[in-house]
Amino acid sequence: QFKIILSEGKYVRCAILLSKRSSEKLKDNLQLFNEKFEEKFKEKLQRHDGVMFKEMQVLSLIEEVFEIDLLYPHRLIRNRAGEYIRNLKKSDIKKLLLDIIIIEQLESSFYIQEMIATLKTRGINEIQSFNALQQIKNDRVCFAINPRTSYLIEKVSPIINSIDLDDKNVLFALFERNQTQPDILKFLKQKSITLEKNLNDCLDNLISLGLITLLNTMTENGDLVVTLLKLIPEL
């Protein structure tokens, strides 16, 4: 028999269907979700015309309040993991966890619950495992692949595959608001980066792919590519 908890706000009523009794924290989170939802969409709710909200708009709020991203597959950021592991003590649970992820070749996709179960077979209790996973996530060594991130990766991967390292470095310079060629070259020099090809060729390619404008300003897709490359450098 299912249990239902309900929270009613000024404009919306939200319910959660559960297989067992709700915790007080979940009830509080449902009330918090109502408050945040009405605050975020107040103007639209006041003149609501019956049109459904876009899924992605609501999903980010659900993830924030209920922390459901813990249910999503997670991905290791390999460029950060190596240095991170070297700074951990041999007895640190985080080191054991990351070693398992790498040895089992789970860098591109692993689930929190599965990792907790694996660590339990090594004699580590669930709370310790969860805290270690949460710390790794907070330290930005891994991240959840939620539907929004998965969609964005799928959308921009073909574009990223069309740019080389020189193009990426120039794009990063432009992202930092270095719009003239002297400023771009100065930025790259400060980063000890030397281009293998002509700067104009890089700019032409970025323009043709719609990542920057003719005035060397970032487009929406350009911002998106840089954001994902910062998050997942190996893309």
| Alpha helical stretches, state H, 91-164 | 93-103, 112-120, 126-138, 147-160
The H or E element spanning position 84 is helix 78-86
Rounded Cα distance between 173 and 169, Å, is 6
Rounded Cα distance between 166 and 103, Å, is 32
Q: How does pLDDT run along the chain (235 residues), one tens digit per residue?
A: 788 999 999 998 999 999 888 889 899 999 999 999 999 988 888 888 877 777 667 888 888 898 888 889 999 988 889 999 999 999 999 999 999 999 998 888 899 999 999 999 999 999 999 999 999 999 989 998 888 888 888 888 999 999 999 999 999 999 999 999 999 999 999 999 999 999 999 999 999 999 999 999 999 999 999 988 988 887 7
Question: CB of 168 within 8 A of CB of 229?
Answer: yes
Which of the 8 DSSP states describes residue 49? -
Burial bucket for residue 122 (CB in 10 Å: 0-12, 13-18, 19+): exposed
C-alpha closest to that of 84 among 72, 97, 74: 97
Per-residue pLDDT tens over the stretch 26-44: 999 999 999 999 999 888 8
